[in-house]
Amino acid sequence: MKEKFNLIATAAAGLEAVFGREIRNLGIDCQVENGKVRFTGDVKTIAETNLWLRAADRIKIVVGIFPAKTFEELFQGVFALDWENYLPLGAAFPISKAKCVKSKLHNEPSVQAITKKAVVKKLQKHFHRPEGVPLMENGPEFKIEVSILKDVVTVLIDTTGTSLFKRGYRTEKGGAPIKENMAAALLQLTNWFPDKPLIDPTCGSGTFCIEAAMIGMNIAPGFNRSFAFEAWPWVDKDLVQSVRDEAESKANYDIELDIMGCDIDARMVEIAKKNAEEAGLSDVITFKQMRLQDLHTDKINGVIVSNPPYGERLLDDNAITVLYREMGETFAPLKTWSKFILTSDEAFETKYGSVADKKRKLYNGTLKVDLYQYYGERVRRQQA
């Protein structure tokens, strides 16, 4: 089996720089592209990136890249790849996904079928199995993906399994919640650091607060879950366990954090508390049932981050206009606080009553959104 791999990490458009920085912070050189970051590494690299990347969706192995304008070229290209270095005898290898963009090959089910046929034929040849006898696929699963962009085929194997945003702590969620990796990425786009107070005044199921606590305590986001690659027979289980042990040793459970989440809905506050408890952070985060208009604090240099109702969650235009106006009025006295608000409402600044210092275009799923960034006046804390 292979020792070095070409790898990519994927995530929502607009977040590439965030998880590219996360990869570099692991000591890995990488190349940032649209929607993905390319890098190379070994099994340890696969384990570390799955365990530590907060903003990414998946880590994938690039098996090969080649041009193809016909199904015969697709078959031959897939057949030529070194599948024997990835798939052991008995492995299950579904072609789980095919995506064709601006290519002569655009029938995705046919692309999946041809790819499957080519991989089967290659493995039959390598393992000396007769062509008429089907390969048994009762072993560990290797999900294969095919992407064709402008007649260039990229063949991938997913190492992650369930998407990385599934941290494992969500016991329940509200309507259209923000994904965990999106929340973590947005926090990294703010000027929040663990020594600053943080408030989410529309906390919903508590995702921003929980992700902030995990960042503040340096808890690996994938620590309490498993990954697809861990079931592969050529992966050294002791090596993976050593990566997990190292991650555990890096967590700082003694740091003091000032994180609060509020919501007008008492049911959502209870869900947030349960999620924090599931994450082992119930004693780190304060959750309160409270109207946004009642938010007051004497603390300075804090950060407010909010994912208020918008898009599919927007039920009443008048209600949202009132909410955004109340946000502006409530936050205005907090002059040393920075505010970061995510919404798809292009009239947000007018309703809020203030033009943002910066605005960053992102995608929350398929919905185009903006992160409105308001920076507070910096005030030095008085020495005790």
DSSP string, 240-255: HHHHHHHHHHH--TT-
Residue 13 pLDDT level (bands cut at 50, 70, 90): confident
Q: Cβ-count burial of 225 within 10 angstroms (0-12 exposed, 13-18 middle, 19+ buried)?
A: middle
DSSP letters of 176-218?
SPPPHHHHHHHHHHSS--TTS-EEETT-TTTHHHHHHHHHHTT
Q: Edge-to-edge strands of the sheet including 5-10?
A: 31-33, 36-41, 5-10, 58-67, 152-158, 144-149, 95-101
% of the chain exceeding 70 in pLDDT: 97
Kind and range of the H or E run holding 33: strand 31-33
pLDDT digits (tens, 9 = 90+) for 177-227: 799 999 999 999 999 999 999 999 999 999 999 999 999 999 999 999 999
Q: Between residues 134 and 248, which one has the greater pLDDT?
A: 248
pLDDT band at 382 (very low <50, low <70, confident <90, very high): low
Q: Are 189 and 22 in contact (CB under 8 A)?
A: no
Instruction: Return the residue matching tokens 């199904």.
Output: 71
Q: Summarize the confidence of residues 109-117 as an average pLDDT.
A: 98
* Domain spanning 180-221+251-374, CATH architecture: 3-Layer(aba) Sandwich (3.40)
pTM recorded for the entire structure: 0.93
Share of the chain above pLDDT 90, in %: 86
Q: What is the pLDDT of residue 133?
A: 84
What CATH class is the domain 5-158? alpha beta
Query: Which CA distances in Å does 80 have to 10, 201, 252, 305?
Result: 26, 55, 48, 50
pLDDT at 384: 46
Q: At 343, is the secondary structure helix, strand, or coil? A: strand
- What is the reported pLDDT for 367? 85
Separation between Cα atoms, residue 123 and residue 87, nearest integer Å: 8
Least confident of 219-233, 255-269, 314-328: 314-328
Q: Contact, 47 vs 240, CB < 8 A?
A: yes
- Classified as helix, coil or strand, 279 is coil
What are the tokens at 243?
Answer: 């990566």
Beta carbons within 8 Å of 171's beta carbon, 6+ residues apart? 271, 274, 275, 278
Whether 100 contacts 148, CB under 8 Å: yes
State the pLDDT at residue 379: 75
Looking at the chain, the domain(s) classified CATH 3.40.50.150 span 180-221+251-374
Tokens in use for 88? 């052991």
Q: Which of 2-6, 191-195, 314-318, 332-336 has the lowest mean pLDDT?
A: 314-318
Q: How far is CA 74 from CA 44, 146, 150, 154, in A?
A: 32, 10, 13, 10
| Per-residue model confidence as pLDDT tens digits over 69-107 | 999 999 999 999 999 999 999 999 999 999 999 999 999
- Average pLDDT, rounded, for the chain: 94
Compute CA distances 293 → 105, 119, 203, 290, 334, whole Å. Answer: 55, 60, 14, 8, 13
Beta strand 31-33 pairing with 367-374? unpaired
pLDDT at 351 over 70: yes
175: pLDDT strictly greater than 50: yes
In this prediction, residue 206 carries a pLDDT of 95
**Where do the CATH 3.30.2130.30 domains begin and end in the chain?**
5-158
pLDDT tens digit sequence for 297-319: 999 999 999 998 765 445 577 88
Residues facing residue 288 across a β-bridge: 262
Q: Is the pLDDT of residue 370 over 90?
A: yes
